[in-house]
């Protein structure tokens, strides 16, 4: 079945109301490995109710519409071949450690790569404070639909989302190693993504992996934590945007090495797995 471009392009979610608590904020931080040193006062700010602060990357998981492609078979999307390609979060104001947000998601573009080559779908989610209506954050994801190329031949297609710039060729200005816990995926999935790929060894084997892999958004969040530590003096309010390409999977227990460069008012970054020397997060850009 060919993807129905017009119907998919017009998709918008109903309002998603998400009331989250300090417990949710702490659990998200623990899923990123924050709190590994329980005596570190910076890490305690993310894992202790007193003077609690939230990681900006949590905006990617709050008030999301769920796996809507699976629930809309009339769109013709082969969701079994979907890959999360890029993630971007922009904070319009600091994310509160608890509150109620309204999420509104929509498809803002679908680029056809051609028959047999897949398509790129750009989905935007806005988060607004329920009480005031103020815009808190914009979260964008680029999804690689590996099984849905060629639809433009039957009447549709958009320009792709703007490409993220490559990282510099010179040596990094900052390198920071960020170990992940062996049970990182078990913790992170409690923030909302319960895909069995991240917990069930048999399911992961059928998907071609040696064991369950870490969530891509967990890798993204860990990179955000590294940037807060290295460039924001531990203050998450200073990290106002973060974008990256999810380029390869991570196995829980591996060590991520954040490599970062100051580029004017931005930070360019990538992450590689130390044990396998594989870049798992690329084309990173952040403002902090």
Determine the pLDDT at residue 194.
85
Cα 54 to Cα 212: distance, rounded to the nearest angstrom:
27
- 71 burial class (0-12, 13-18, 19+ CB within 10 angstroms)? exposed
User: From the candidates 26, 34, 213, 222, which is the catalytic residue?
Assistant: 213
With beta carbons less than 8 A apart as the criterion, state whether 122 and 164 touch: no
- Residues forming beta bridges with residue 82, ordered by sequence position: 145
pLDDT (tens digit per residue) in 170-194: 999 999 999 999 999 999 999 988 8
Q: Is residue 198 annotated as part of the catalytic site, yes or no?
A: yes
Sheet holding 266-273, edge to edge: 16-20, 99-112, 119-129, 135-145, 82-91, 241-246, 278-287, 266-273, 255-263, 174-179
Summarize the confidence of residues 159-169 as an average pLDDT: 88
Alpha carbon of residue 247 to chain centroid: 12
The catalytically annotated residue of 110, 148, 198, 226 is 198
Integer CA distances (angstroms), 136 to 25, 72, 105, in order: 16, 28, 14
| Lowest-pLDDT choice from 15-29, 60-74, 166-180, 230-244 | 60-74
CA distances from 14 to 6, 65, 78, 105, 127 (A): 18, 8, 22, 8, 13
Tell me the mean pLDDT in the region 201-226: 94
Catalytic member of 99, 118, 216, 284 = 216
Active-site position among 193, 224, 226, 283: 193
Q: What percent of the chain has pLDDT over 90?
A: 77
Known catalytic membership, residue 213: yes
Asked if pLDDT for residue 195 goes beyond 90, the answer is no
Is the pLDDT score of 156 beyond 70? no
- Whether 284 and 183 have beta carbons less than 8 Å apart is answered as no
Compute the mean pLDDT over every residue in the chain, rounded to the nearest whole number.
Answer: 94
Q: Longest C-alpha distance within the chain, in Å?
A: 60
Say what the pLDDT of residue 153 is.
Answer: 67
Angle, vertex CA 178, rays to CA 173 and CA 183, nearest 5: 165
60-85: per-residue pLDDT in tens? 999 999 889 888 999 998 887 888 89
């Amino acid at each position: 079945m060919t993807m129905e471009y017009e119907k998919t392009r017009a998709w918008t979610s109903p309002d998603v109301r998400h009331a989250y608590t300090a417990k949710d904020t702490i659990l998200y931080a623990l899923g990123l490995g924050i709190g590994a040193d329980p005596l570190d006062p910076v890490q305690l700010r993310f894992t202790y109710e007193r003077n609690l602060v939230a990681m900006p990357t949590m905006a990617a998981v709050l008030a999301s519409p769920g796996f809507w492609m699976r629930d809309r078979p009339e769109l013709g999307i082969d969701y079994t071949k979907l890959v999360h390609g890029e993630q971007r979060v922009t904070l319009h104001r600091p994310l509160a450690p608890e509150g109620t947000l309204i999420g509104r998601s929509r498809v803002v573009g679908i680029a056809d790569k051609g028959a047999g080559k897949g398509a790129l779908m750009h989905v935007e989610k806005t988060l607004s404070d329920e009480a005031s209506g103020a815009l808190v954050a914009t979260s964008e994801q680029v999804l690689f639909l590996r099984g849905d190329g060629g639809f433009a031949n039957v009447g549709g297609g958009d320009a792709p989302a703007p490409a993220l710039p490559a990282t510099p060729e010179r040596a990094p200005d900052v390198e920071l190693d960020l170990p992940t816990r062996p049970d990182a995926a078990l913790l992170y999935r409690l923030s909302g993504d319960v895909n069995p790929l991240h917990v069930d060894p048999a399911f992961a084997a059928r998907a071609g992996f040696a064991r369950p892999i870490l969530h891509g958004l967990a890798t993204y969040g860990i990179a955000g934590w590294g940037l807060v530590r290295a460039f924001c003096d531990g203050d998450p309010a200073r990290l106002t945007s973060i974008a990256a390409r999810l380029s390869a999977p991570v196995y829980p227990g591996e060590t991520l090495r954040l490599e970062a460069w100051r580029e004017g008012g931005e930070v360019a970054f990538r992450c590689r797995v130390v044990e396998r020397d594989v870049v798992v997060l690329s084309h990173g850009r952040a403002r902090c």
